[in-house]
Amino acid sequence: MVNDVSVLAELALYVARLPPENPLALRLCSAGATLLGASGGSLTLTSTPGAPFVLATTDRVAEQVESLQEVLGAGPRVEAQRTARPATLVVGDAPDAPSSLAQELRAAVGPLRVSSFPMLVAGAVLGVLSVHTPSEARLTRQDDEALVVASIIGGALLRDVDDDSSTMLSGWPARARVHQATGMVIAQLRVSPDDALTLIRAHAYAQGTTVAAVVSDLLDGRLVLGPGDTST
């Protein structure tokens, strides 16, 4: 069974190592790709009407992958969005069975493996985390762990977690509790204040609870967002 808190803590450590001036989506994308043992990746928002919106790409390969999937309307990102399940495409050295995307990718970037994981938030697909590796390589995490990573990233991308969050932040005593909990996360993970609050929100989504509940768990010692923690 995947320990969501442990995954969140590892992701936070990777985020903390990245330049804080970079956009949050790019830092989350880079951290997610690194955590999964990938060469790079992309974050795509798919819950809005119209064409999917690419929030971040870490490199030229990820840009090419997303561009070709958008043009052709097919690929692992499209499948992950449609099925709410992981999807993978392997582009080898030799010609594959008829696949326009595989042929175009081989011509554009060479052999590679693309793995896509839906960002599931409150039971809906918010978007997709896609990562790429050399064609012969495998990710360092199993699909169930990668799904947790993607969903945590999805939760972190949402500014308004739930109706309770705005209410909770409206009064001074509640704000003081949030500041105190944020300070605890800063100390535990050595991240910035903004990132600490983002991670509290992400944990709320990953656990299907509210920000207020996570704050209470942190302050009461029931939750520690640190490496190796086994809290649930």
pLDDT in tens, 185-204: 888 888 888 788 888 877 77
Q: What's the confidence (pLDDT) of residue 173?
A: 56
Helix locations, the chain, DSSP H: 4-16, 24-35, 60-72, 76-83, 100-109, 143-157, 163-168, 172-189, 193-207, 211-219
Last residue within a domain, chosen from 136, 157, 178: 157
DSSP state of 123: T
Low-confidence residues of the chain: pLDDT under 50: 160-172, 230, 232
Q: What's the confidence (pLDDT) of residue 229?
A: 53
Residues 39, 153, single domain; the answer is: yes
* Residue 90 in domain: yes
Residues 25, 119, single domain; the answer is: yes
* Residue 225 in domain: no
Residues 60, 147, single domain; the answer is: yes
pLDDT 10s digits, 63-108: 999 999 988 889 999 999 999 999 999 998 766 555 788 988 999 9
Q: What's the confidence (pLDDT) of residue 172?
A: 46
* Residue 226 in domain: no
CATH code assigned at 169 = 1.10.10
Residues 51, 149, single domain; the answer is: yes
Residues 152, 170, single domain; the answer is: no
Q: What's the confidence (pLDDT) of residue 72?
A: 86
Question: Do the strands 53-57 and 40-45 form a parallel or antiparallel pair, or are they unpaired?
Answer: antiparallel
* Residue 175 in domain: yes
Q: What's the confidence (pLDDT) of residue 49?
A: 57
Q: Are 33 and 40 in contact (CB under 8 A)?
A: yes
Query: Which range marks the domain in which residue 113 is found?
Result: 4-157
Last residue within a domain, chosen from 141, 157, 173: 157
Length of the chain (residues) = 232
Mean pLDDT of the chain: 83
Q: What's the structural domain count of the chain? A: 2
Residues 85, 115, single domain; the answer is: yes
Residues 208, 108, single domain; the answer is: no
* Residue 122 in domain: yes
* Residue 121 in domain: yes
Residues 118, 175, single domain; the answer is: no
Residues 203, 103, single domain; the answer is: no
Q: What's the confidence (pLDDT) of residue 171?
A: 43
CATH code assigned at 22 = 3.30.450.40
Residues 34, 62, single domain; the answer is: yes
